[in-house]
Structure 1
Amino acid sequence: MSRIYSLFIRLIRHELITGSFFIFIGGTIANFLAFILNLFFARNLSYSDYGILAALLSLFNLATIPAQSISAVIVRFASQFLFGNEEEKASSLFKKLFSLFTLLGAIAMVVMYVLSPSIGKFLRINDHFLVIVLVFTVVLNYLLTINLAFLNSLLRFKFISISGLLGGIVKLGIGVSLVLLGLSVYGALAAIIGMVVFQLILTLIPLKGLILKRVKEVKLPYREIINYSFPASLAIFSLFSFISSDVILVKHFYSETMAGLYGGLSLVGRTIFYFTAPIPYVMFPLLVKRHSGGKSYKNLLYLALVLVSVPSVLITLFYFLFPELTINIFLAGREYLTIASYLGLFGIFLTIFNINNVLVSFYLSLKDLKVSIYIFFCAVIQIILIYLFHQNFQTIILDSIASSSLLLGVLILYYIRHYFPRP
């Protein structure tokens, strides 16, 4: 009995568990607030306006996918510098990245101003200024990504959690207020901008040591960073396109009302992702730390897979058993009940995606970039399948399940070939 108790204590004190706990608590509350806000939007916006918002948010998610890959690159090298007692390199990296992204953001605003009519036409959005506002939001989000990546490298999971929670409160307050005032989709986008600006300022506080640190000209390993950045960015962009491309293509092929219904389905289905996302997020810098120190790291992957798979399967099972109840809890309106039968299938898709997310994070943390091309091809296969076969929502979800299952099989075979101990 004492051995079991001792094992339990060691388990709950494990750095993956404690770090994930803080991120999970803060992230869960923030995601819950975001979920409440999205439900508020679904209930208070017209189906056509919610369809526009769902398409814009999917475009936002797609546009910020590179931010996730950039975050992985920053965490990979910032952790390497910080754990290697090279704080001057870490400080120099932070300052140069912040300046670079500010410049690139300004250029992106100009470019997207020119392209906004074409994007609006593809998504059937008549108000092109909505696209420009969205781009401004994306630019701010990239600057926030730099701050959060460095906090992640410093293992400041508690502060990340608090900033996300407070940001969620700000977003909820702004979103509800402005939509009730009649600003519709603009109010929803303003809520995101308010949250990002608030977090951007707040997260600078614990980074003041790096910001104020005076450093001489430090030679950064630019070639190594670039050689890592492109395939890592391709991998993460391709991976997260799995949960964005479907919504965008549905908006293109279906009516505004049907696109709004699919947006609601995607919203409820992604609960599985929100619930498990902290695990690979925390796992990444811990793997870098262990791998850099020559310590054992595979058990960390196995633990992460268990922590992600179990809740994903349980939530999916709940979706299959109580689809209409789930829809009634999260979404109002009889029309949304028409998508209840697809909820279990969508849960299977998100469960597979979550496992893929853990495996991809594992490979990227070890600088194993060969998997990038496999992820890209599987993402392209998903887009091709949906483009060719989109007769109904079930077909679209099955397209996503097929392509993500193919990726899972490839990632597992790759692990067996390159990491599994051979006799």
Structure 2
Amino acid sequence: MIRLILRGLASLLLITLLGLYSCNREEVVLPASRTKVTTPERLNTLHGFYLLNEGSMGRNKSTLDYFEYTSGIYFKNLYAERNPNVVKELGDVGNDIQIYGSRLYAVINVSHLIEVMDVHTAKHIGKISIPNCRYITFKGQYAYVSSYAGPVQIDPNARLGYVAKVDTATMKVVAECTVGYQPDELVIVGNKLYVANSGGYRVPNYDRTVSVIDLDTFTEIKKIDVAINLHRMEVDAQGKIWVSSRGNYYKIRSKLFVIDPATDQVTTSLDVPCSNMTVHGDRLYLYSVEWSYIKGGNSINYSVIDTKTQQVVQNNFITDGTEKQIKIPYGLAINPETEEILVTDAKDYITPGTLYCFSKEGKLRWKTTAGEIPAHIVFVPK
């Protein structure tokens, strides 16, 4: 009899502990940290911006932050708080983030997926599986995603990449178009999609082309010979396409090129190194962290180019000396309403980075701690 009572008590205790464990599992997720970084302000067109932190490869540490203009508060690691039941949270290496309609799309490279969220709440809607996905752009009902196609590794025999066509309503891949080796950033002008092929996995035999895809037939119609190891792309107010080459980190240096989509020809070559760039009005802002194996270090610069004249008009858009605090500039964005300049610092690629906000004159307004390798910024419209 005593044994039966003890067994009953043990069962009751086990059920109670399981219940507590179940409750605690839902409460174990740490809330997003909140830091007031500046005075609140009301903008006419923007609510705030998301910042996607890449996280070091192989550590599953990509995170999502948010800055809210009306409160001046920076929310760190928002995705985990809003999605406590998503296993492994965002995933491994956040490579791009964009808004289209009411949805927020985060490209998670090494996890081979695109996380789709509600743009206002950052709550999970669905996932799109694409191997080794890199960048995303949109037109009509479709998203277009560049993919390295193969595994994440250096391989002299790495296969050709492709661009995936995704139906945004169903979140399904409906077509693929083979392009060059290891395609990176992509842009759309008219009814043509352009993607920069890097060939980065096939070092030292880099690709040197921009693939042109006709969106009606979703086929590659030509390749434009540009330079080795292409990466970034931007379209200016005149409709011209700017594309960056990373060079080979030895004697071939990073450069900028301009493509005229009317002729699909390279019209300008600029001896300006570029790691990242963004267009605002008739100005192209860029920074470069140019590594050289010959020198054994980085050369860093911040520049502004007039896209009409295609000439450098400013050699440093940070004018108060704050650039001396930035070890590795990594993310760049311009607030389209206030013209404030946002720059992130990846530091040592392991410890939490820093987000800097400069006035349009290049003076520091505020800064705050972000996640690990803060990289990609997208503004949220009202």
The higher relative CO (CA closer than 8 Å, separation ≥ 6) is in 1
Structure that is richer in strand per residue: 2
With normalisation by structure 1, the TM-score equals: 0.24
With normalisation by structure 2, the TM-score equals: 0.26
Structure that is richer in helix per residue: 1
